[in-house]
Structure formats: structure tokens, C-alpha cells
Structure 1
Amino acid sequence: MDFSFDVIAHNLPYLLAAARWTLVISVSGMAIAIVLGVLICAARLSHSLVLSRLAALYISFFRGVPLLVQLLMFFYMLPHIGIDLPAIGAAIAATGMCSAAYTAEILRGALQAIPRGQSEAAEALGIPPLALWRRILVPQAIRIGLPSLVNELILLVKVSSLASVVGIAELTRVAQNITGETYRPLEIYVTAAAIYFVINFTLSRLGRLAERRLQIG
């Protein structure tokens, strides 16, 4: 079977349209992960034993259960407790909450790299704990952990293909559907792989650019 560029040209618009859902799931999930990850990280480092244990349990659960299982749990379990999310909402929520466990650990490692003297100086100046986290600790932690956070976003782009199990027409699902219609798997999957590569390569370059801009000389 010859490699046909006509097949690629004809189906490329459909694959690019599907890639938008891949980006929506990944970027939205990462946004949730950062916000929730900061809160979980703060709880994990809290002097409260209850908060610390609950945060550790959250991290252990979401890192220990496969994302596919979590996605199916969100999609099928939430309606039973009165939360009726559409498939895309369940995928974003599951992706974000799973990634939040990893993001919290990334931030916790970054926070531990910040000199303790900064917190002590802030306390001596009477800066409230919330302002200390919002204005001093979290910005530095994000800067220090930026390479790992970019890697986490790239990972989310790849695992977003799992959303196809709940019927979302993201890139992998659409590639499978087109292959079933055209019987041209080589061209379609090569094109899908190229789109994934372009997305992740772009994210990697943007991450390196942001890292250089935030770097302290």
C-alpha cells in the first residue's frame, strides 16, 4: 500500500479540529491542577496533622489509581450523587484532579528549595500567612518547578487521549474513526503523531522561553 498524501490533505482539517479538544482538556486540566495543587501543597506542609494527613491521602490516591479508572469513575459516578457533568467536563475534572496530586508534589519540592530565612523574615515583618504564600512562596515555587510543570502539561496532552473512552472526539478518537472509514491507518496515525509532536514541541519551547525569562541571574 502506497503512502498517500492526498489522504492526509483530505483528513487533516478533521484532525486539527479534534486537536482543539486535546488542548482544551490538557490546558484546562493543568489550570485546575495548579490551583488545586497549591492548596494541597499548603495542606501537606501545614502544621495541622489532619490537613497534612488528608493531603497525603489525596496524593496517594490520585497517584495510585490509573487515570483511566478515575475518568470512568467521574463520568459514571458523579450523576449518582447529583452532579451531572458533560463528558468534556468529567474529563477535565478527572485530568485536573489527578494532575493536582503530581503538581502538589512538584511545588512541595520547589518550596523546600526556598531558603527558610525568607519565611522567617516575612513573619518578623508581620506579613500574614496568606500574603506570604501568595506574594512570596508560590511565585518562587512556580519558577523553580517550571520545568517539571511544563513536563506535566506535556504528559497531560498525551494522556488526554484517554478521554476517548467517554466519547469525546479528541485527536486519537477522531484518528481511529477516520481509519475505520478510510482503511488508511498509516497516513492517519502518522499525521496524528505529527500533530501531537508539534503541540508538545511548542509547549516545550514556550516552557524554556518562560524559564529563561524568569531565571534570576
Structure 2
Amino acid sequence: MGMYFNVTYMIKSFPALLGMVHITLLVTLVAAVCGILLGAGIAILRIQKVPVVAPVLRVFISFMRGTPFLVQLFLAYFGVPEIFSHIGISMKGVPPLAFVLAVFSLHMAAYGAEILRSSILAVPVGEKEAAMSLGMTTWQMYRRVILPQAFHMAIPALINTVIGVVKGTSLIFNVGVVDIMRKAELMAGNSQRSLELYVDVAIIYGILIFLIARIGRFLERRHRDGRDLAELSEA
């Protein structure tokens, strides 16, 4: 085996690694959707200071934001089945990907909750008072008035969090999920050419993050243009 960097092998290996990108996209999409929805609910419960629930959620957020992805994955993958085994429930049939999706969704929810809580609190008080004066319930006020504005303000921070989730997916092979990183390791074991494969992996992740960042900028621009148009129509 030559020790030089083999560009030809890198190019030939790229399609095989790219073929596993659907796992990364699945984890990212599920985590983003579930995490943002859960995060919005958590943010509202914390703002409303619901007894018992709000303090528990604060501890949950501190834990999820204060511990590494890998630790959370291991606790879920090894700890949850152990806990359930003591009450007679076997989780041997649960695929590793299910644990990954749950952990990443909760991780995204913890970060999303803090982002959205800040955005909700940034909505002018006059908007809330106007909604209440129109006879809206608290739920209607959040759904029709506050959350749409909060989501728009939170777009940059939420996109950054989603990018963090994409980077975090590079760890899921540690619990048995065959993704881009695991495929690269398997191919490296057969070919003894790790560097070329990890360059491919870096390129794939770089492209994914670039595309997500572009989507974020598009959403920001669309919101800004829509807001400017609304202001012109009111003038």
C-alpha cells in the first residue's frame, strides 16, 4: 500500500459514502421538526410558570444543554433498556436509530426551548395586550400572534442549532447506527486508506451545512421582504 494521498480512491469512494447521507438527513429532519415543536411547548410552559412542570423542565434543559451528545446517547442506549428491564419490559427489539432519534429530538428541544423563550419574551407587550383585548384565549394568542413572530425572530439561532445537530450525527455510529462515519470506518478497515475517506466525509458534511445555512438565509430574507411589504401596505 502506498502512503501517498490517493485522489482516485477518494473520488471512487465518494458515492458509497454519499449513499449513507439519508441517515444523517433523517436524524436531522426528525430532530429539527420534533425538537422545535417540543421546544415551543416547553418555552410556553416555562413562561407561564406552570407549577411543578416549569421547574422540572428547567432541570431537563440544563441537563440536555450541559452534557455532551455522546453521553446522552450512551445513557439512552444503555440506560433506558436497563431501567425497563427491571419492570419486566424488554427493549431488545428497539433499533439503535430509535434511541438516536429520541435523543437528538430532546437535545434540539432543549436548545429550541431557550431560543424560542427569548424570542417570545421579545414580542412587544402591546401585541399581547391587543390579542387579549380581542377576546383571544391564551392558546389563541400564542398560536395566532406570538409564536409566528417568535419563530421569525428565532430563525438564525434555530438554524445554527440544526447545524449543530448535523455535526452531532457524526457520533451516532457509536451506538451501532451505520451512517456516513461508520461506513467510512468500515471502508478504511478494508482499504487501509483512512485519510481519503475522512476527506470525503468532511466534504459531505460541509455541503450539508452549507445547504442548511443557505436555507436559513432564504427564510430570513423571505420574512424580511414580507415584513417590509406589510409595512408599505400600512403606510
**TM-score (structure 2 length as normaliser):** 0.87
* Structure 1 counterpart of 2:117: 108
Taking the TM superposition and a 5 Å limit, the aligned residue runs for 1:1-217 are 1-80=3-82, 81=84, 82=89, 84=91, 85-215=94-224, 216-217=227-228
- Aligned with 1:145: secondary structure? helix
Deviations 1:183-209 (A, max 9, x none): 112211111101100000011011101
Deviation at 1:120, TM superposition (A): 1.0
Deviations 1:150-180 (A, max 9, x none): 0011110001111111111111121122112
For the structure 1 residues 96 and 83, does the alpha-carbon distance in structure 2 shift closer, same or farther, using more than 3 Å as the test?
A: farther
Letter of the 1:89 counterpart: A
- Structure of higher CA gyration radius: 2
Deviation at 1:83, TM superposition (A): 7.2
Total equivalences in the alignment:
217
Deviations 1:89-135 (A, max 9, x none): 10010011012111100001111211011111111111111121112
**Cα distance in 2 between the residues matched to 1:191 and 1:100:** 30
**Cα distance in 1 between the residues matched to 2:130 and 2:164:** 37
Structure 1 gaps, min length 5: none
**Cα distance in 1 between the residues matched to 2:114 and 2:170:** 24
Letter of the 2:136 counterpart: I
**Cα distance in 1 between the residues matched to 2:11 and 2:98:** 31
Over the residues paired in the alignment, what is the CA RMSD in angstroms? Answer: 1.5
Residues 41 and 55, structure 1, Cα contact 8 Å, conserved in 2: no
- Aligned with 1:3: secondary structure? coil
- Aligned with 1:49: secondary structure? coil
Letter of the 1:14 counterpart: A
Letter of the 2:15 counterpart: P
